[in-house]
Every structure is written in C-alpha cells, then in structure tokens.
Amino acid sequence: MASTSPLRASVNPTLHPAEPDNQAGVWSAPGRVNLIGEHTDYNGGLALPIALPHRTTATVRPRTDGLLRVTSTARPGETVVVALDDVSPTVPGDWAAYVAGVFWSLRQAGYAVPGADVQVASAVPVGAGLSSSAALECAVAAALSDIAGLGLLDDDAGRARLAQVCQVAENDIAGAPTGGMDQAAAMLCRPGHALRLDCRSGVTTQVPFDLAAHGLALLVIDTKAPHALVDGQYAARRHTCQQAASALGVDTLREVSPTDLPEALGRLSRLGDSAAPARVRHVVTEIARVEAFVDAVQADDFTTAGALMTASHDSLRADYEVSCPELDLAVTTALRGGALGARMTGGGFGGCAIALVQQEQADSIGAAVVAAFRQRQWPDPVPFTVTAARGAGRGC
C-alpha cells in the first residue's frame, strides 16, 4: 500500500528549461571508505576517499504528473508517494527523503527535472559508515542528469556540481549536517585511484592507489556497531569547530597551520571551552596527515602510510571522541595481527574500521577481529577487502 510522505513544500522555484530525455534505465553510485582525513571536510580541509565496489542502484522511469514514487527492495510492500512541489526542508522526512531531496535540490539549483518512479536497491551496508546515503543520492542524481538531459555526468565540473546538489539534499531535506566528502567520492572517484579532495577550493586530484601491485590489501571491518549522523553528536562537533574558527578569526580551521596550532590552542583554552582545543588539534593535525599520507603513497612508503592511519585513529579516539569500543577493538586487534596501520573510517560512533595489511594476512587478521569480538560476546563483525572503484554512472 502506498504511504504519503510528510514532506511539505514551502517554495516553488523558477526553473531553467532542460531538454527531456524520457528513456528509463538503471543508474548506480558507490559507497566509499575514507583512507584518511576524517571530520575535515566541513572544516575546509583535505580528505582522501576511495569508491567501493559496493553500489546502490536506482531504477528510474520519468513521470509526467509531477509525482515521485519511491520503492526499495529493503522495504518490500512499501511505496512512498510525494508531489515534487510538496518537498520541503521544513518538515523532516523518512528514508525516502534522501531521494526526494535530490529532486528538490536540483530544482532549487534551477534545473527542470520531471517526476519519476524510483526503485532503489543497495549492496552498500546501511549504518556502517560507508556512506550508503550519499550512494543513494548520487545514483538518483546521475539518473536525473541523464533523464532530464542535464549533461552533468560528462565531466568533472558537472559531477562536482551534482555532488554539491546531493550534499544540499542530505543537509536540508534528510537533516544530516554532513560535509561534502561523501558525495564528492561517489561522483568523482576513479578505479585504482584515491581522490584527494580539497574541501576549501573544491580541487580534486586523482592519486594512484593500487595496493595489489605492492602485495597489500585494504581490509574493511564492519563492526556492526550502530552508526548514525542525525543523533546530534556529529552536529555538536561541527558546531564546536565553527565556533572555534570564529573565535580564532578565521573562516575555517583549514587556515590554522600546524605551526600556528600551539598559539591557537592557548587562545581557545583561555576562552573556557574545554572541548574546543582537542577538537581543533584533531582537525589541524588530521589535515597534515592527509598530505603526508599522499606523499607516502606516491613514494611507495606504505609503512609510513600505515603509521599515519593509526595516528589518525588515535586522534579521532582521544581528541575528537568519535570512536567507540568496537572500533577501538577492531583497530588494536588488526595492529596486533600485523597490519601496517588501522583506523576508524567515516563519521564515527560505530560503523567501520579499515586496516592496511599484507595480502596474505587479510584473512587471518579478519578472523582475529571476529574472534576478539566473540570473546567480548559482541555480534560478529564482517571483514572484507576492497579495491578502489568507479564513481556514479549509468549501469550497475
């Protein structure tokens, strides 16, 4: 039975014309893991994600009546129906808000997009910190670009525009105050490469990342610890960083260099916010770690790259306080098993850890993590290896 979405409309934007292309089809976008550079995107910093082989697909057929009908293989028998003119940031939506938000955001940006039937299927684990939401948004955005003849998939500039549209959808309609790293990864990543993303300038650089050529693998460990970005913890840290930047007289914490850090921390400490110095220390040192990680990978120095990953986790645990016991156990067990480096990935408070490992050790390290979780009587984690995959586009 169809259900009516609670979304309401407060605006009816003036749209620029777009030539329609009424061909239905299937589009997909990947999840991502961030190699390093966590909680830096909304601070104007650097991040280094790769796209996962795991993808979300959107089967899309345009409609002429201005309605959006959304179904998902994960919710059999449920259909969400909403008029595009009724989509609004003023009323929270449900899971379908991630889809409806893309239509709304494109219309807000001046693109004429039709109503559509959208069926969603996903192989990206939900709630694991692998950006299943951005994968969903970007699959839908890719479909609408083609269906409405927008041409935004044709080059990196257009893809970056779609990523921005999807970020606005997630922030304003889905209500998750994320930065733009996840959507940029889903749109712009290329096979065999990591994406160096400068979140201040928007400049992206493709960094070769072929671990297999060096006998290495990237092990992802889904801890099964619940992960959510809409429970206030993520927003609280973002707010702290914005307040700290304002107190320091800079637009974003990207303007604070490692050299300037001691003075900045002293100023913040005198203001009496006990959390701000630690949060700022993480952001500034994490941005520096991204640069050092890129240099190490380009020099084939994976020992240094691994050490930087571990240092990143330590900072996220102690200074940013976004880790959890499951993530910490996954990291420490992987390191004891011989991993070159390991860290949590994503927003934190649950989700996944990653480890840089020798190929021949991937299975044994994964098994050791499972055994460690069983010893604590926690649900079994799911370890798996990944390679850098492609961004959003037509097809599965």
Nearest-CA neighbor of 167 among 90, 108, 101, 113?
Answer: 101
Q: What is the pLDDT of residue 296?
A: 98
Domain boundaries, the chain: 2-208, 211-386
Identical fold for domains 2-208 and 211-386, yes or no, is no
pLDDT in tens, 189-207: 999 999 999 999 999 999 9
CB-count exposure of residue 246 (10 Å: 0-12, 13-18, 19+) = exposed
Instruction: Give tens-digit pLDDT for 60-74.
Output: 999 999 999 999 999
Please, are residues 308 and 341 in contact by the beta-carbon 8 Å criterion? Answer: yes
R_g of the chain, CA atoms, integer Å:
21
Average pLDDT over the chain reads: 91
CA-based torsion, 193, 196, 197, 203: positive or negative: negative
Best CA proximity match to 386, nearest among 126, 124, 198:
124
Per-residue pLDDT of 281-334, as tens digits, reads 999 999 999 999 999 999 999 999 999 999 999 999 999 999 999 999 999 999
Q: How confident is the model over 365-380, as pLDDT tens digits? A: 999 999 999 999 999 9
Q: Are 207 and 194 in contact (CB under 8 A)?
A: yes
Average pLDDT, integer, range 265-292: 95
The confidence score (pLDDT) of residue 8 equals: 37
- Of all residues in the chain, what percent are helix, strand and coil, respectively (each to 5)? 40, 20, 35
First to last CA, the chain: 28
Q: Which among 227, 223, 220, 218 is positioned nearest to 381, based on CA atoms?
A: 223
Q: What is the pLDDT of residue 9?
A: 34
The answer to whether 72 and 58 have CB atoms below 8 angstroms apart is no
182 is catalytic: yes
| pLDDT-based confidence at residue 126 (cuts at 50, 70, 90) | confident
Residue with the larger pLDDT of the pair 9 and 364: 364
The domain defined by 211-386 folds into: Alpha-Beta Plaits (3.30.70)
Is the model's pLDDT at 127 over the cut of 90? no
Report pLDDT digits (tens) over 149-163.
Answer: 999 999 999 999 999
What is the strand order of the sheet 79-83 is part of? 2-4, 79-83, 67-72, 115-122, 49-63, 25-34, 393-394
2-208: CATH topology is Ribosomal Protein S5; domain 2 (3.30.230)
Mean pLDDT calculated for residue range 142-148: 97
Cβ neighbour number for residue 301 with a 10 Å cutoff: 14
Residue 16: Cβ within 10 Å count: 9
Query: Which pTM was predicted?
Result: 0.89
Q: Is the pLDDT of residue 358 over 60?
A: yes
* 7-41 pLDDT, tens digit each: 433 333 334 443 344 478 999 999 999 999 999 99
Rounded to whole angstroms, the maximal C-alpha distance in the chain is 61
Position 10 scores a pLDDT of: 32
Kindly tell me if the per-residue pLDDT of 253 is higher than 50: yes
pLDDT digits (tens, 9 = 90+) for 208-242: 999 999 999 999 999 999 765 546 788 899 999 99
Q: Is 235 exposed, middle or buried, given 0-12, 13-18 or 19+ CB atoms closer than 10 A?
A: middle
The one catalytic residue in 146, 172, 182, 319 is 182
**Residue 178: pLDDT band with limits 50, 70, 90:** confident
